[in-house]
Amino acid sequence: MKEILLIALPLIFAAAAFAWPNERTRSWLLPVACGLHTLLTMWLLINPPALAAIAWFGFDPLARAVLPMVSLLFLVCSIYGVSYLQIRSERKNRIFVTALLVMLGLLSLALQAQNLGLLWVAAEATTLVTVPLLHFNGTARAFEASWKYLLVGGTGIALSLLGSFCLGYASLHSGGSGDLTFTALVAQGSSLTRPWLITAWVLLLAGYGTKMGLAPMHTWKPDAYGEAPGMVGALLAGGTTTMAFVAILRVKQVVDAAGDGAMTERTLLAFGLFSMLVAALFLLSTRDFKRMLAYSSVEHMGILAVGAALGGAGILAALFHVWTNGLTKGALFLSAGNIRRAAGAQTEDKVAGMAWRSPASARIFVVGILAVTACPPFGVFFSELKIILATFQTNNPFVAVVFLGCLLFAFFGLTRLVFAIVDGRPRAAARATGKQLREKPGVIIPPLLFLALSLWLGLATPSLLRDTWTAAAKFLFPTP
Amino acid sequence: MSSALNLLIGLAMGLSLIALASSRLPSVIRAAAFQGMILGILPLLLEERFHWLVIAVATGTVTVKGFIIPNLLLRALRAANIDREMEPLLGFVPSLLLGAAAIIGAAALGNELPLRPEHAKTLLVPGAFATVVCGFILLMTRAKAISQVCGYLILENGIYLFGLLLINSTPLLVEAGILLDLTVAIFVIGIIVDRIQREFDTLDTRKQTFLRE
């Protein structure tokens, strides 16, 4: 019952937001809805409900391992959203607030979906509802970014539907009854018709990989993250990509059960390392600090794919990384949004000396970059360390070498650009626009909260969460 | 029964080639619409007994794919006063050759993949893969936003064709969700086309070059 409420609650609030008459007070619906959602998720995290056998959706171990993170991400972003929408009061916010809440409802549905078809419908609907969020700024560049997002994302989602059909046919051909719940597909195991299964895996990995932003299907990401408001970037980088990752994990579970685990691991490893490499190379040359965050996200999606390819220990580490990456990225996107507003531009040619113009945001940004490039004691360090340990456990020292090399280059690229922006003398353009922008507590506290969460995950990972991740890894990768 | 089915699927594959070869936007839109209508009729041929749900799905598909979406696209074409030439990034003859290669490849792939006895004699699988690839070619090699939408439509048509393999087994909810999503996707794309038009005064995606690395 509560798991339905998790989906219905944001949707009800979305309807309320759409009907709400007042532009100024509408944004307060965001923290109220997200707060209730987080409370409900935490309750479910502590008291996991029993799973119905043939349910279309449910709070299963995997949903339990990631949904609380998405809920927390939305909560902190929604607090930021109230101040953000006050600053941007010149833009109408009816569609923006509604779309954000619908997105939360759909993500809750997609992460809990136990049925291949339902998962796809939720993923497709999430893609569509993100479009108005991306062109909130209403500029020509924002339209261009939304167009590319829709075209690339739409094609990706179409491929994943074709893949879902192939998986359905694999089940039907081997005598299945057309039941597309993951439990039923896993139960069919090695009887699934192999050629169809492989076709399905290729198409689903390409399709959901596009949504996740694995290279070379990542081309929508820099445009979308560069042009969207900071908080939308945070929700895309921590929410939508998590949904796509969970989708890949669920499909992988089916293909593994059919005895093709070696193939899924090899392909995921290849995509993961390639994404990390591409991201590291682009990070070395990009001049735009919001697009930089997109490449950093591509890199971390690569890390997740590598983790997922490394057996039970790797999946556990990847789920840990979903948390640390999502929450640390939150701090980065929100503070980058503040810097972007104060500077009036987002390339290193036009922005410098932000340590003077927006001191608090610049400090958060620098600390956030150090956190995301795996400096201890932040969470990302520990989750990446676990992935490296998993490479040695599974006897893949070569992977560890490439992995560490890419991390090093990414570190060079990120710090180069960040210090170019933070240090130096403020540019004339920023001096002109900078006066009227004070750093309100409403836009400073949320990124600080994210940093605190990242630190807390690193220093004192709660044993409850650790058990949840272990349970999910066991659920996905039952070691014989 | 299966010969009528194969005839219609062959016709749909031919329409993908016509779309690849057309030099004018309205004829591409009409080819995609006609293809959608043919696909809408197919469930009636596949199902022996006339269940009301099958009739509802068929009517819905024909209406949406054959009338509503093409009308929206033609309206966008008129409203935005777009030049009707296609402006291919890849010439028509190379596109056609690629399309023909796709059909041959799909037929070869269809022979490799194991099928259930009731699907073995049909062109469903080769038809679906060929249509998906033709849609993909159109999507990638045409410069105008509306022709990219047509490519996306043909790609979706191919996926729908594949979905017919499962029409007896998957719950109808999934089918309905697909149709709904398709409509909404085109709606949203249409709105964006409209906005791009106002912002750029062109629907040529080659001119959208602010964002590149």
pLDDT at A477 over 60: yes
pLDDT at B201 over 60: no
pLDDT at B179 over 70: no
pLDDT at B176: 55
pLDDT at B193 over 70: no
pLDDT at B200 over 90: no
pLDDT, tens digit, for every residue of B100-140? 999 999 989 888 888 888 788 888 899 999 999 999 999 88
Contacts of B158 in chain A (CB under 8 A): 162
Residue A329 sits at the vertex; the CA angle it makes with A111 and A84, to the nearest 5 degrees, is: 95
Instruction: Give the predicted TM-score (pTM) of the model.
Output: 0.93
Lowest pLDDT segment from A51-55, B131-135, B194-198, B199-203: B199-203
Contacts of B139 in chain A (CB under 8 A): 151, 155
Mean pLDDT for the stretch of residues A257-279:
94
Do the chains contact at B181 and A124, CB–CB below 8 Å? yes
Contacts of B155 in chain A (CB under 8 A): 155, 158
Residue in this structure with the two tokens 């399905």, named with its chain if needed: A200
Query: Using 50, 70 and 90 to split pLDDT, how confident is the model at B206?
Result: low
A195 touches chain B (CB under 8 A): yes
Show contacts of B181-184: CB within 8 Å, 24+ apart. Answer: B181/A121, B181/A124, B181/A125, B181/A128, B182/B64, B182/B65, B182/B69, B182/B156, B183/B64, B183/B68, B183/B69, B184/A128
Q: With pLDDT > 90 as the criterion, what percentage of chain A qualifies?
A: 68
Contacts of B192 in chain A (CB under 8 A): 131, 135, 143, 146-147, 150
pLDDT at B23 over 90: no
Closest CA relative to residue B77, chosen from B22, B27, B138: B27
Do the chains contact at A165 and B165, CB–CB below 8 Å? yes
Lowest pLDDT segment from A391-400, B83-92, B173-182: B173-182
Measured CA to CA, the distance from residue A245 to residue B64 in angstroms comes to 32
Mean pLDDT for the stretch of residues B152-179:
75
Lowest pLDDT segment from A32-46, A122-136, A205-219: A122-136
Lowest pLDDT segment from A205-214, A256-265, A409-418, A431-440: A431-440
pLDDT, greater one: B98 or B90: B98
Lowest pLDDT segment from A254-263, A299-308, A447-456, B55-64: B55-64
Mean pLDDT for the stretch of residues B46-66:
78
Residue B160 sits at the vertex; the CA angle it makes with B138 and B97, to the nearest 5 degrees, is: 30
Residues A117 and B172: beta-carbon distance below 8 Å: no
pLDDT at A35: 96
pLDDT at A362 over 70: yes
Mean pLDDT for the stretch of residues A125-143:
86
Which of A125, A169, A223 is nearest residue B166 as measured by Cβ atoms? A169
pLDDT at A331: 95
Residue of A nearest to B169 (CA): A178
Question: Between A61-87 and A463-476, two packed helices, what is the crossing angle to 10 degrees?
Answer: 120
Mean pLDDT for the stretch of residues A28-47:
95
pLDDT at A219 over 80: yes
Lowest pLDDT segment from A15-29, A59-73, B31-45: B31-45
Lowest pLDDT segment from A85-89, A247-251, B63-67, B78-82: B78-82
Mean pLDDT for the stretch of residues A283-291:
92
Do the chains contact at B159 and A165, CB–CB below 8 Å? yes
pLDDT at B189: 66
Name the minimum distance, in Å, from the CA of B163 to any CA of chain A: 6
Lowest pLDDT segment from A258-272, A274-288, A367-381, B108-122: B108-122
Mean pLDDT of chain A: 91
**ipTM metric:** 0.88
Q: In sequence order, what are the residues at sequence separation of 6 or more whose Cβ sits closer than 8 angstroms to the Cβ of residue A296?
A: A279, A283, A329, A332, A372, A410, A414
Do the chains contact at B178 and A161, CB–CB below 8 Å? yes
